[in-house]
Amino acid sequence: MKKIVTICTMLIAFIGVAMAQQNSKAEFKFETETHDFGKIPQGKPVTYEFTFTNVGTEPIIISEVKPSCGCSVAEFTKTPVKPGEKGTISVTYNAAAKAPFTKNFTVRSNTKTPVKTLYIKGEVTG
């Protein structure tokens, strides 16, 4: 009986947390979610700055921006972005290997869509 009560309590708590996240009033509006660098020279890192506006009614708090590989890094606005204000996520790709590339960056935040993915692509040439 205790197990059933514990399981029910945990289930209700989980549903409550999930509902709270879905009801978040913070929301991103990115100018673009994909950037194509085109052809870039080998050995020269390239950087792009994704810009977003908070179109929600609560501040956006970004908790993490995780690159898909060790060849990329990301910097982001660390302070809460108030409604109507802009924030940035700056990504840098280390163009070490000659080849086409597509990399993604997973953005975790308190927005209606708590996980967002941004993309960069291009081709490293000699």
DSSP category for residue 110: S
Q: pLDDT, tens digit, for every residue of 82-124?
A: 999 999 999 999 998 899 999 999 999 999 999 999 999 999 9
Long-range Cβ pairs for the range 67-73 (8 Å, 24+): 67/91, 67/103, 67/104, 67/105, 68/103, 68/104, 68/105, 68/106, 69/103, 71/96, 71/103, 72/103, 72/105, 72/120
With a CB cutoff of 8 Å and minimum separation 6, the contacts of 120 are: 34, 35, 36, 37, 48, 72, 91, 93, 101, 102, 103, 104, 105
Contacts of 37 (CB under 8 A, 6+ apart): 46, 48, 93, 120, 121, 122
The structure tokens listed for 2 are 């205790």
25-125 classified as CATH 2.30.30.40:
no
Per-residue pLDDT band at 12 (split at 50, 70, 90): low
pLDDT at site 42 = 94
Q: pLDDT tens across 17-72, in order? A: 444 444 569 999 999 999 999 999 999 999 999 999 999 999 999 999 999 999 99
Q: How far is it, in rounded angstroms, from Cα 117 to Cα 72?
A: 14
Q: Which two tokens stand for residue 37?
A: 């660098």
Q: What's the confidence (pLDDT) of residue 14?
A: 54
| Domain extents in the chain | 25-125
What's at 106, amino acid-wise? T
